[in-house]
Amino acid sequence: MRNLVGSILISFILLFNSNSAFSFDFAPEVGDIAPNFQLEGFNKNIKTKTIWELSDFKGKWLVIYFYPKDFTSGCTLEAKGFSELKKDFSKYNTEIIGISADNKNSHESFCSEKSINYTLLSDPDGIISDKYGSWIPPFSDRNTFLISPDGKISYRWISVLPINHAKEVLNVLKKKV
């Protein structure tokens, strides 16, 4: 019976894994090289830049958090938490980026209205979110990755709760630096 259940489960995973609408990719593990990205985005403090990639943050710690949608209550709570602690993260040579399926114009409005002081990137097709095991079409799942200055995953949070999440990330960063 166990073999039958196992076979059915494996068949199910293989069936849906071959369909691009369903992703069963897993998040990169601690110690893995962080998946590269090249995404359009917005940062109200950097008006001349519109495309960001992982190499832009080489030599720094980087917090990448994936979130479902601009202006929703949980996403706003999480984004504001990181904004409030941005100076504290900067003390540890750390940048913050948020990634969702929202477009650049939505990010610009969200940053302006909610006083978000770091970069938000657009991943409308979920390609990068999927590389980080954070894509549940049509939205990014709420996962966070701490990437070391040498480009490796140093810590990860899967399916996080937005309340106090930024403080939790900062506390882990302090122990890593």
Q: Which residues are catalytic?
A: 75
* Residue 77 to residue 165: CA distance in whole angstroms: 9
Give kind and range of the element (H or E) at residue 7.
helix 2-17
Q: Is the peptide bond before 138 cis (omega within 30 degrees of 0)?
A: yes
* Residue 102 to residue 41: CA distance in whole angstroms: 10
* Residue 116 to residue 108: CA distance in whole angstroms: 9
Residues across the chain: 177
Tokens of residue 46, six digits: 């950097």
Tokens of residue 34, six digits: 């962080």
